[in-house]
Each structure stands twice: as structure tokens, then as C-alpha cells.
Amino acid sequence: MGAYSRPHMLAKIDGRLKGAWLLRRIQEELTDHIGGNPTVTQRIIIERASIVALRLSYLDQKILDDEEFTILDNNQYLAWANSLTRMLQRLGIKETGPKPNQLP
């Protein structure tokens, strides 16, 4: 990528791909979560979080399909899950609905 490249053009998502729907949905939901109109840093976090969530969903499907889940898959899953958690924390966690009953 050169000094005059447009990085947003490199990450353009082909809407015909299966994952494109999930990416758009996650981006829309996270944008709604922060109240719409994200700042540039929030937008970048939302874009990255949606890609990581997509990667995790592919590994989830691999588990559900009872495919071989290698050590590399496991390590990637844990790294991506932790990264996603940190990104979501940066966007803010808002409690909705009643809290589950806690034991005394």
C-alpha cells in the first residue's frame, strides 16, 4: 500500500459472500449500540470487531460441524475472542433488561 492508496477501498466487502451479511449486521448493531453516528475511532473499532466476530463465527461453525479443531484453531479462537472482548469494552457495555437472580 503506497502513500496515496485509499485503505478503505482495500477492505471493501463483496456483498455476495456469505459473511458479508453478518459483517453488515454486526456493524449496524454496534453502531446502534453506541447511539449511531460513530466517531472515527469508534468506526474503526466497529469495523475490526465485526471482522473478528466473523472469524470467530467460522470457527464456531467448525466446532458445530464436528470438524477437526486443531491447536492452532484453539489458539486463534482464544486470541480473537479476547481481542473482540477488549474492542467491545472500548465501545462500552450498556446493561439492558433485568439482571439474573443472584444467589444469596
pLDDT of 19-49, one tens digit each? 888 899 999 999 999 999 999 999 999 999 9
Residue 81 φ/ψ, nearest 5 degrees: -65, -45
Cα–Cα distance for residue pair 28/50, rounded to 1 Å: 10
At residue 12, does pLDDT exceed 80? no
- pLDDT value at position 1? 46
> Could you tell me which residue, 101 or 67, shows the higher pLDDT?
67
- pLDDT value at position 93? 79
Sketch the domain layout of the chain as residue ranges: 38-92
> Could you tell me which residue, 58 or 98, shows the higher pLDDT?
58
- Whether the CB-CB separation of 94 and 33 falls below 8 Å is answered with yes
